[in-house]
Amino acid sequence: GSYDCFISMVALVHLIVSGLGEVLLPCIYSEKLSEPVTAFWRDKDDKVVLDIINSREDKIDAKFTGRVFSFPDQYKTGNLSILIKGLRADDGGPYDCNIPKVDYQTKITLNVTGQFRLPSLKSNNLVFLYMFSSY
């Protein structure tokens, strides 16, 4: 009989970044991709971080709208990486990038650390007094 052999490639990446900035989540296939290019990005809750369908940004979950960017001019070179701006504490966790045409997957664990700004209180007439004492 005849047999088919399939090779699935998975890249594992661990990133640690501080809050308030941006992070590049890599998803780079080592060879050129024939167009149209399709790739699917998902987060820990299986939300659509970004769908790239027919070489165009297609679907994106409301959580990531206006914060996730890709590089369309680099799709055919195998670069399906995304940039997440305005990092939040709840952005941490696992991310998956799948390029189904070539059975390629990147699994990324993102740890978001550091300081997150609280909403500032602006007032001309109020004085906030914080007192700390120890006994």
Condensed to tens digits (0 to 9), the pLDDT of residues 52-91 reads 999 999 999 999 999 999 999 999 999 999 999 998 889 9
Q: Write out the two tokens for 36.
A: 């149209």
**Residues counted in the chain:** 135
Range 56-86 burial, b when 16+ CB lie within 10 A, else e: eeeebbeebeebbbbeeeebeebbbbbebee
Q: In order of start, what are the domains of the chain with their CATH numbers?
A: 9-113 (2.60.40.10)
Residue 25: in which H helix or E strand, if any?
Answer: strand 23-25
Can you tell me whether residue 100 is helix, strand or coil?
A: helix
Helix/strand number for the chain, H first, E second: 0, 9
Question: For the whole prediction, is pTM greater than 0.85?
Answer: no
Comparing 60 with 126, which gets the higher pLDDT? Answer: 60
Q: Is 52 exposed, middle or buried (0-12, 13-18, 19+ CB in 10 A)?
A: buried
